[in-house]
Copies of this chain bind each other. A is one copy, B any other.
Amino acid sequence: MARDAERTKKRLLEAAAAEFAALGIAGARVDRIAHSAGCNKAMIYAYFGNKDQLFDAVFTQLVAATVERAPFDAADLAAYAGRLFDRYEADPATVRLSTWYRLERPQGVSLQAVVASNKSKLEKIERAQREGLVPAHYAPVELLTLVIATAGAWASVNPELGSDAPADRERRRVVVVDAVRRLLGTPEDPGPT
C-alpha cells in the first residue's frame, strides 16, 4: 500500500499546485509542500529536481488539463471563451498559477506545452478566417489575445473591483460570451445604437 512512487508523485503535485497557487514560486515553501503531501522534502528533489522544476511540472499538467477541459474551437470563439470562463471558475487556482507563471518565470524560458498549444490555436484561427468562419478584422494573435483576456476579465481585475462585482456567476458568464460575440462583430443583441 505504501511505497508507491507514482502515488507519491501525484500527491506531491497536488500539494505543490495548492501551495504555488496561493503563494507563487518565491513564496512557496518546499517543506510545507512535502508536509502537506505527507512525505519527505527529499522526495521532491528526487522526483522533480528542484523547486522551479516542480513548478514547471505543476504548470505543464495544468496546461494539459485546461486544454482538455476547454477544447479550442476557432469557429465558435464565444463558446470557447465560455468554456475557459467555466474552467477558471471551477478551479480558481488555474488563473493564479498561470499569472504566477507569467510574472515569475524568467523571460526566454518557454514550456513546450504552452508553445505547442498556442501555435495550434493560431493556426486554427487562421484557417477559420480563410474559410470565412471568423471575421478577419483582427489578426489571429490579436483575436486570441482578446478572447483569452475577456474570458479571464473577472479574474484579472483588482480585488476591490471584484467585491462590487455581481456574485452571480451565470451573469458573468453571459457577459463574457456576449463580449466575445461583440468583438467578432456578430452580437446576438445589436444593442441600442
- Is B26 within 8 A of A164, CB to CB? no
- Is B139 within 8 A of A166, CB to CB? yes
User: In A173-190, which residues have CB < 8 Å from any B CB?
Assistant: 175, 178-179, 182-187, 189-190
What is the oligomeric copy number? 2
- Is A114 within 8 A of B150, CB to CB? no
Q: List chain B residues, Cβ under 8 A from A99.
A: 99, 102-103, 156
User: In A76-109, which residues have CB < 8 Å from any B CB?
Assistant: 96, 98-105, 107
> In the complex, what residue of chain B is closest to A108 when comparing beta carbons?
B159
Q: List chain B residues, Cβ under 8 A from A145.
A: 153-154, 157, 161, 165
Asked if A141 is at the interface (CB within 8 A of a chain B CB), the reply is yes
Q: How far is the CB of A148 from chain B (nearest CB, A)?
A: 6
Q: How far is the CB of A67 from chain B (nearest CB, A)?
A: 13
Interface size bucket, A side? 35 or more
Q: Give CA–CA (A46, B99) in the complex, Å.
A: 33
A101-B158, A148-B153 provided; 14 other pairs, C-beta below 8 A?
A24-B26, A24-B27, A26-B26, A27-B104, A99-B156, A107-B159, A110-B160, A136-B192, A142-B175, A145-B165, A182-B183, A185-B187, A185-B191, A186-B191
Give 23 CB contacts A-B under 8 Å: A24-B26, A24-B104, A99-B103, A105-B159, A107-B159, A111-B160, A118-B160, A137-B178, A138-B175, A145-B153, A145-B161, A145-B165, A146-B153, A146-B179, A148-B161, A149-B152, A149-B156, A156-B156, A182-B185, A184-B191, A185-B187, A185-B190, A185-B191
